[in-house]
Amino acid sequence: MKQNLETYTSEDLKVWQTLFTRQVENLATKGSQRYLNCLEKMAPVLNDETIPDFKKIGEWFTLETGWKIEVVPGLIPVEDFFDLLAEKRFCSSTWLRKMEQLDYLEEPDMFHDVFGHIPLLADPEFSAFAERFGQLGQQFKTNPFAVKALQRLYWFTIEFGVLQSGDKILSYGAGIMSSFGETNRVANHECTFLPFELKKMIHHEFDTDVLQEEYYVITGFDELTKALDKLGLIFSRKIEF
């Protein structure tokens, strides 16, 4: 599948601009500085002026961390998702929500996929984590326990991760970064923050269609890499919890 820029309408552009400008302003004091730095760095190919061109974003990444955007029709099998991440190809849909859907969607659209996920892939440390995540999933995709554990790690970090920065808890997960309401919910502490305990996390069930009630707090992206290293040993049965 490919992105066809000619199919986007003036309403699509207005939706993108509204979402982008509103959320950039909202994240200024609520989002991870690492994310914000990446978003600023990517401004030539990811901004509020135009619908993002996946080809240009890929060309930009060629000189940076090497990622490409893989167009998908929607949710794909987890095994395929692991394979794509292992090859540094991040999945994105090409459809965009309507103006009346600014604050709620039942499934991820292009704003979630691109604005939420793509910027941090320009961060070398986070990029390496995402690639390693895919490789680990690829290696153990026939192991039901490993697949479930990785899905939960993904949900509570890449999708809904938060981190401690001084006396603040800032957001970095794409599900928060692309949601005006959830960003404010986290910033206002209208939820429960949990310490980053891997054993608890990989046994923690979650709902995909509601605002999250609990978030796991990291102090740095190095904790994510260490979590993968530990899971690799657990899946290989070299260590036990």
Structure confidence by residue, pLDDT tens digits, 19-38:
999 999 999 999 999 999 99
Residue 222 lies in a domain: yes
* Total structural domains within the chain: 1
Its pTM stands at 0.95
Residue 241 lies in a domain: no
DSSP 8-class letter at 114: I
Residue 173 lies in a domain: yes
Residue 105 lies in a domain: yes
- Measured CA to CA in angstroms, residue 58 lies from 42, 88, 196 at distances of 11, 11, 33
Residue 103 lies in a domain: yes
Q: What is the CATH number of the domain that holds 128?
A: 1.10.800.10
Structure confidence by residue, pLDDT tens digits, 118-170:
999 999 999 999 999 999 999 999 999 999 999 999 999 999 999 999 999 99
- What domain range includes position 124? 5-235
Residue 180 lies in a domain: yes
Residue 60 lies in a domain: yes
Residue 108 lies in a domain: yes
Structure confidence by residue, pLDDT tens digits, 28-74:
999 999 999 999 999 999 999 999 999 999 999 999 999 999 999 87
